[in-house]
Amino acid sequence: MKSIRRQLTRETLATLALLLGAGLFAIGLTVRTLLDRAFDAALLAQAHAVGALTELEAGRIQFDFSADFLRGFGGLRARHFFELWTDAGRVVTRSPALGAADLAKPRKVRVGEPTFYDLALPNRRRGRAVYLPLRLRETDGGAAAVKRQSLGIVLIMAADRGKLDETLSGLMAAVAGIGVLMIVAVLALVPRLLARGLSPLERLGADAATIDAHTLSFRFAQTGLPIELRPIAERLNELLARLEASFERERRFSADIAHELRTPLAELRSLLECALKWPESRDPSTDREALEIARELEILVGRMLALARGERGGLTLTKESIAMRPFAAECWRVHEAPAEARRLNTRFAVADGTIDADRTLFRSILSNLYENAVSYSPAGSSIDVWGEAADDGYRLHVANPAGDLSAEDIGRLFDRFWRKDASRSGGRHLGLGLSLASTFAEAMGWRLGAKLDAQERLVITLEIPVPVRRGRRA
């Protein structure tokens, strides 16, 4: 199984080791270069000092070396050597420690400039030398120092580099030791630091592991979380809120449908038990009541199936052009008789316009809105239906007296099986009409909303966000 911690640990350790190695190598190389340059500078200064003590007098090379000066170039433990050549290749002089031996010349010489190179000294120790071309000019020694002639010579100055090599070896050993210690420290600290840095993520995972269907009310605390994890916690909390609402809706739905089915099933059972117990006194109305209950159950099941299909996006839409004014009037005809029976005054003011919609779903939406208005309007009151076309679509409104509905009740109007206890629980209404209308509206990309207006009327508005062709009112 892939582990973020192990992957980060490996990559971090590899990166730090690479950077550490590169840094220590660069430090070692820089210090080595600086020491070599310092050694070469000292060697060159010593060569210039020897050259400054060499003079050309009367065509002969003269050396003004004191015994103290030559003491550093003599003896068995001499660490410095020099040798002087003419341009013709003749040895002019050597340091005492060389005896009859010669210092090796470089393979390549830089014309007119000092040439530094490594060589083996006569005492078989490693050395460093500088090949320095010089030009001696003869003077008469007078105050005017008039030049008479010049002579080209070559000075090779060599020194034992044993101490330098020891210093460099010690430096490399120290760098290597520091590198090993730092790698050990990195190996010890990086896993702990990563574990500490990833601990909020592990706590988040541990909290998520405790969530199940019974703990959907849990919310991830964002206090103390790193800024990178806060968006994740926010999204998870939003997901939990949606899941909690969905589970609560399903639990409420299960309880509501059980409650709705209990009464008609109990009535049906009672009718059948009476028919079986006293068949000789069976009333013909019993069959009619049983048929009515069966129809009620069929309507309930059909509407629940339609709601389920709508919520799953399983509704098939067949759109066609529909003229709003005649279609709204056509859908009202089914409800004219119930409205007249309750002495309801209906006022229509629907502006014409053509929209594209599924006729069956649109008819169901309007029928449910009309049925809700007719069923719950007080007898002798008025129902208003009006609509207007706008640049951003069409709005259709159905208004009726709200009765004892409050502003808090408006938010529950489209919940399944919801009915206000006192005035909205009687009769055979299932409490699914507005929920079904809202589902069908969403399926077509529309929006169904409700509010209480200044006259304490319930106004349900169907917003159709599609272009329409405006017309006159009816």
211 touches 218 (CB < 8 A): yes
Going from N- to C-terminal start, the domains of the chain cover 4-168, 230-311, 319-464
pLDDT in tens, 261-286: 666 777 778 878 877 777 776 677 77
Selected from 3.30.450, 3.30.70, 2.60.40, 3.40.120, the CATH number assigned to the domain covering 4-168 reads 3.30.450
- What global pTM score does this model have? 0.46
Q: Rounded distance, CA 428 to CA 303, Å? A: 14
**pLDDT-based confidence at 53, cuts 50/70/90?**
confident
Task: Give the Cβ contact number of residue 162 at 10 Å.
Answer: 13
User: Is residue 95 classed exposed, middle or buried when 0-12, 13-18 and 19+ CB atoms within 10 A define those classes?
Assistant: buried
pLDDT in tens, 84-124: 888 777 888 888 888 888 888 898 888 878 999 999 988 88
Q: Which two tokens stand for residue 46?
A: 């010593």
Task: State the fold for domain 319-464.
Answer: Heat Shock Protein 90 (3.30.565)
Strands of 126-139's sheet, edge to edge?
Answer: 91-94, 80-86, 147-160, 126-139, 115-120
Which percentage of the chain shows pLDDT scores above 70?
81
Note the pLDDT of residue 172.
86
Q: Up-side HSE of residue 205: CA atoms within 13 Å toward CB? A: 5
Report which residue type is found at 240.
L
Distances (CA, A) of 128 to 41, 261, 446: 11, 107, 92
pLDDT in tens, 151-201: 778 889 999 988 888 888 888 888 888 888 888 888 888 888 888 888 888
pLDDT in tens, 204-250: 888 888 888 888 888 888 888 888 888 888 999 899 898 888 787 77
Beta-bridge partner residues of 152: 135
Beta-bridge partner residues of 322: 355
129 touches 156 (CB < 8 A): yes
**pLDDT-based confidence at 399, cuts 50/70/90?**
very high
Task: Give the Cβ contact number of residue 349 at 10 Å.
Answer: 13
348 touches 399 (CB < 8 A): no
Per-residue burial over 434-448, b if 16 or more Cβ lie within 10 Å, else e, is bbbbbbbbebbebeb
Q: Rounded distance, CA 48 to CA 44, Å? A: 6
Q: If you average pLDDT over residues 277-301, what whole number do you get?
A: 73
Task: Give the Cβ contact number of residue 259 at 10 Å.
Answer: 10
Task: State the fold for domain 230-311.
Answer: Helix Hairpins (1.10.287)
Q: Rounded distance, CA 332 to CA 365, Å? A: 12
